[in-house]
Amino acid sequence: MISGRTGTDPIFRGAADFDLELIESRTLDGHTQELSYRPIRHG
């Protein structure tokens, strides 16, 4: 979860809280992974 309102030091101050849904992953060179996420409103 990315926190906009909760926690001691919010990274997106003033934004609503949201979860991240993994929508795609792929391995680039056998070691490095690329991960794509979609934000979903937390609740």
Phi and psi, residue 19, nearest 5°: -95, 165
DSSP structure class, residue 35: E
Two structure tokens written together for 23: 């929508």
Give the end-to-end CA distance of the chain in Å, rounded to a whole number. Answer: 11
- pLDDT tens sequence across 1-43: 565 566 666 666 777 778 889 999 999 998 899 999 998 887 7
0.85 exceeded by pTM? no
What total of structural domains would you count in the chain?
Answer: 1
d(CA 17, CA 4): 5
Task: Please choose, from the candidates 19, 12, 22, the residue with its C-alpha nearest in 3D space to the C-alpha of residue 42.
Answer: 19
Residue 37, classed as helix, strand or coil, is: strand
Q: What is the residue range of 28's domain?
A: 1-43
